[in-house]
Chains A and B, each alone.
Chain A
Amino acid sequence: MSDPVGKFEAVKNRLNDYVDAAVGGIVSNNWRIGVEYIGTFPMSTLRFGGAQIIDENYGGKVPEAGSWIIYEFSIFVHEKAVSNYLDATPKFYKAMDAADNIIDYLIGKSEDEDEKTDYGIYEIYDLVLDGVQPDRRARNVGRMVITGRIRAKWLDP
């Protein structure tokens, strides 16, 4: 049975949908997977970090009785490198573009009315992107890391 609106699985699945819609390819919740074994790109792995319930709402109102929950998430986006020996194009530009496409998509979904009503997701914010190469076994794969927070409603049972 799926989690109710705003709870762990529902929000994680929605995050999975966002990445899939933004860049496609493989989207996996198995963040331990090794990129050197992957043949299909882009490949994105998703992870929830901390999830904290906020009872004090700072003036933000949950529509029904309940609290806000803040999910911290990270997305690792992998894409193939290109040779740039005599070219100004960055070697890992595909991963960079994919990461920015995901951020654009997340921004578009933040404060979207449908997301609020259907999935309990009210805000996606504190977005950070970073270029972090995988280990040396996968030198021809570019990796970008996106982190951010999702504010969702956590309704009382």
Chain B
Amino acid sequence: MPVPDATKGRYRAILERLDTWVETALDIANYVEYYVTDDYTNLPTNLGMMPYVSIKLDTGRLADETYDRYLLKDGSPDTQGQGSMVTYFFTLHVYHIKNTAPGENENRDVHIVTRIIMDYFRGRDQHATEKVSYGIERVYDVSARESDAPGFRNLKRMIVSGYLWVKRLDSP
């Protein structure tokens, strides 16, 4: 169902959309006991509930001078609206328990989860549904790196980061 224009491109709407993307990616990959949260100040406490992904939507920069506040509402040239384009930076902290199979990479499982999420995010770039319903025009500069997870020896972490180019229409 399309989101009303008054919420399109808003911080909360975009954060909820990122949450949905991660959950959908994990559902498609048949993960069952995962946990996705926007409470990025917390660390996982239940190692039985993996993978664990915390989402932080970071800085959003409004660039209204770029288009003089005139934007297309839904991709059709006949339906103009007023608003700005916003660049949102996001990070995902992806956790999984260490792979203990002998002779294999300890980070294997967290690598797999990260790849699944990144593949799904790449598929959202310039996706028609994201554009029309959520104003998300681009998903770009997505990168990932390994990072030490604090406090847990048997927990592995990767950090995914990237940018969203989003249409933010003015409130009616």
Residues of A within 8 A of B (CB): 84, 88-93, 96-97, 99-100, 103-104, 107-108, 125-131, 133, 136, 139, 144
Which residue in B12, B60, B62, B65 is a CB contact (below 8 Å) of A93?
A: B12
* A-B contacts, 13 listed (Cβ < 8 Å): A89-B16, A96-B11, A96-B12, A100-B11, A103-B62, A104-B171, A107-B84, A125-B65, A127-B64, A128-B59, A128-B62, A129-B11, A131-B56
Query: Hey, which chain A residues are within 8 Å of B37, CB to CB?
Result: 84, 91
CA distance A139 to B40 in the complex (A): 11
Q: Taking A104-B171, A127-B62 as contacts, is the C-beta distance between A88 and B11 under 8 angstroms?
A: no
Cβ contact within 8 Å between A144 and B39: no
Residues of B within 8 A of A (CB): 10-12, 15-16, 19-20, 23, 37-39, 41, 56-62, 64-65, 84, 170-171
B69 to chain A, nearest CB (A): 8
Interface contacts beyond A91-B38, A97-B12, A127-B64: sample of 20 additional A-B pairs, CB < 8 Å, sorted by A:
A84-B38, A88-B16, A89-B16, A90-B15, A90-B38, A91-B37, A96-B11, A96-B15, A103-B62, A107-B64, A125-B64, A126-B62, A128-B59, A128-B61, A129-B60, A129-B62, A130-B60, A133-B41, A136-B41, A139-B41
| A103, B57: Cα distance in complex, Å | 17
Q: Which residues of A contact B60 (CB under 8 A)?
A: 128-130
Interchain CB contact under 8 A, A90 and B16:
yes
Cα separation A97 to B65 with both chains bound (whole Å): 23
CB distance from B47 to the nearest CB of A (A): 17
Q: How far is the CB of B77 from chain A (nearest CB, A)?
A: 24
Cβ contacts under 8 Å, A136 to chain B: 41
